[in-house]
Amino acid sequence: MLLQSLPLVFVLMGVALYTVLGGADFGAGLWQLLAGRSARGERIREYAHRSMAPVWEANHVWLIFVLTVFWTAYPEALGSIASTLAVPLFIAALGIICRGAAYAFRAGATSARESGLIDTMFSLSSILTPFALGAAIGGIATDRVPVGNAAGNLFTSWLNPTSILIGVLAVTTSAYLAAVYLAADAARDGSHELELAFRTRALVAALLAGAVAFGGLFIVKADSHRLFHSLLSGRALSGVIASALAGLLALGLVQRRRFEAARYLAAVAVAAIIAGWALARWPTILPGLTVYQAAAGHDTLVWVIACVLVGGAILFPSLALLFRLALTGRFRAAEHAAMDATSHAPSDSRRGLLVRSAIACLIAGFALLNVAEAGWAHAIGVVCLLCFIAIAFRAIIFGALGATATNK
C-alpha cells in the first residue's frame, strides 16, 4: 500500500515545489511584462531577470521530475492525462520554450533596450504556462479526464469554469510568489526602492489571489458539486483551512517586510491545498482508476522510490548551495589564480612515453573491440580507446598550446 502511494506523494510534493519555485519564475516574467517603459520599469525588469537567472533552470526541472516519476509509477494514468489534456500541456510547453528562450537570448543583449525587448517579447509565456497547467489540473479535479487514449474532450476538459478558475489562480499565485521572492532579494541587496515596489506588488497579488480563491468556491460549487463537496468536508477541509490561514499569515508577514518567512508560509499554503485536494480524492487518480490499480509493478516502484531518495539526498544539498550562493552569496574571493610558473609540457622523454602508451592503447583497443568477439573484450577495448584519446590529448595539447604562442 505504502509502496504504491509513496511515488504519488513524491509527485505531489514535486507539484507543490514547482508551483512555488517555477511559479516564482513565471511570476517574475509577469512583473517584467507589467513593468512599463519608464526608467523605474526598466529597473524592475532588470532586477527580476538578474534575481531569477541563476536559479530558473533548477526551478523548472521540478516539472521534469513530476513527469518522469508519474509516468514510471502510474503509466496508464499519465497516458490518459497527457492525451486528453494535450492542448493545455502543449501550450504550457510553448510557454516554457519562450521563457527559456528569453534567458538564452538575454546572454547576447548588449543594451538595456534590447534586454527589455527580449523580456517583454517572451513574458507573455509567463501567463500562458501557469494558466495552462492550472487549467489542466482543473480538468483532472473535476473528473473530466477519463482513462483511455484521448478519451476525454480535447477542449472542455480544460476550458471549463473550474479549470479557468484554477488557471487564473495559478497566474495570480505565481505573481505573488515572484513579488515576495524579489522583494526579499531586494531587501538583502539593500535596494529600498525596489523592495517597496515588489512589496506593493506582492500585497496586491495576494489580495487578488485570495479574492479569486474565495470567489472561486462559488464557481466550483456551480461547476462541480462533487469537487466542492469533497473540498469542504472531512480531511480536505483541514487542508483548505490550513492553506487559507497560511496565506493570511504570509500576507501579514509581507506587510511587516518579513519576506523570507512569508515565502515559506506561501509554500505551506500551496502544499496544504494540494494535500487537501489529494486527500479528498484519495485513492482515486482518474475516474474509475485508483492509485493501487494505476501503480506499476513492485520492482519498478522500489526502483522509483530508491531513485527519488538517493537523488534527493544529492539534490537537496546541491540546491541549498545554489540558493545560498544566489541569495546571499556575494562572497567575492580575490580573483587571482595560483601562479604556477612550472612548465606543464611533458619533457621529451615523458612525451615519448605518452606517445608509446597512446599507440599501445590504440592497438589494444582495436584488437579487443574490432577483432575479438567476446563481450568482455569489447568492454576493455572501449576503455583502451578512450584512454588513447585521453593520453594522446595529454601528449599533444601542451605542445600545441605552446605553439599557438608563436605560430602565425
Footprint on residues 343-382 left by another protein (CB under 8 A): 343-345, 362, 365-366, 369-371, 373, 375, 378-379, 381-382
Select from 36, 37, 40, 90 the one that contacts another protein (CB under 8 A).
90
Nearer Cβ to another protein (143/279): 143
Q: How far is the CB of 365 from another protein (least distance, A)?
A: 7
Select from 24, 35, 89, 165 the one that contacts another protein (CB under 8 A).
89
In sequence order, which residues have a C-beta less than 8 Å from that of residue 354 and are 6 or more positions away?
Answer: 346, 391, 392, 394, 395
Select from 3, 43, 75, 380 the one that contacts another protein (CB under 8 A).
75
Select from 108, 190, 349, 376 the one that contacts another protein (CB under 8 A).
108
Q: How far is the CB of 290 from another protein (least distance, A)?
A: 13
Q: How far is the CB of 384 from another protein (least distance, A)?
A: 10
Q: How far is Cα 118 from Cα 275, in angstroms, rounded to an integer?
A: 37
Q: How far is the CB of 78 from another protein (least distance, A)?
A: 6
Query: Is 327 a binder of another protein (CB under 8 A)?
Result: no
Select from 321, 359, 363, 374 the one that contacts another protein (CB under 8 A).
321
Nearer Cβ to another protein (54/161): 54
**Near another protein in 158-217, by CB under 8 A:** none
The set of cell numbers assigned to 331 is 562572497
Nearer Cβ to another protein (249/392): 392
Q: How far is the CB of 265 from another protein (least distance, A)?
A: 25
Nearer Cβ to another protein (114/193): 114
Q: How far is the CB of 214 from another protein (least distance, A)?
A: 33
3-state secondary structure the chain: CHHHHHHHHHHHHHHHHHHHHHHHHHHHHHHHHHCCCCHHHHHHHHHHHHHHCCCHHHHHHHHHHHHHHHHHHCHHHHHHHHHHCHHHHHHHHHHHHHHHHHHHHHCCCCCHHHHHHHHHHHHCHHHHHHHHHHHHHHHHHCCCCCCCCCCCCCCCCCCCHHHHHHHHHHHHHHHHHHHHHHHHHHHHHCCHHHHHHHHHHHHHHHHHHHHHHHHHHHHHHHHCHHHHHHHCCHHHHHHHHHHHHHHHHHHHHHHCCCHHHHHHHHHHHHHHHHHHHHHHHCCEEECCEEHHHHCCCHHHHHHHHHHHHHHHHHHHHHHHHHHHHHHCCCCCCCCCCCCCCCCCCCCHHHHHHHHHHHHHHHHHHHHHHHHCCCHHHHHHHHHHHHHHHHHHHHHHHHHHHHHHHHCC
Query: Half-sphere exposure of residue 246, counting CA atoms within 13 Å on the CB side?
Result: 19
Select from 39, 111, 337, 348 the one that contacts another protein (CB under 8 A).
337
Query: Is 144 a binder of another protein (CB under 8 A)?
Result: no
Nearer Cβ to another protein (208/345): 345
Query: Is 300 a binder of another protein (CB under 8 A)?
Result: yes
Task: Kindly state the number of chain residues that form the binding site for another protein, as judged by CB under 8 A.
Answer: 115
**Near another protein in 46-65, by CB under 8 A:** 53-55, 57-58, 60-61, 63-65
Of 136-144, 237-245, 265-273, 388-396, which segment contacts another protein by CB under 8 A?
388-396
Nearer Cβ to another protein (51/230): 51
The amino acid at residue 276 is: G
Query: Is 332 a binder of another protein (CB under 8 A)?
Result: yes
* Residue 14 Cα to chain centre, angstroms: 9
Nearer Cβ to another protein (139/216): 139
Nearer Cβ to another protein (215/288): 288
Q: How far is the CB of 128 from another protein (least distance, A)?
A: 12
Query: Is 282 a binder of another protein (CB under 8 A)?
Result: no
Q: How far is the CB of 282 from another protein (least distance, A)?
A: 21
CB 145 within 8 A of CB 157: yes
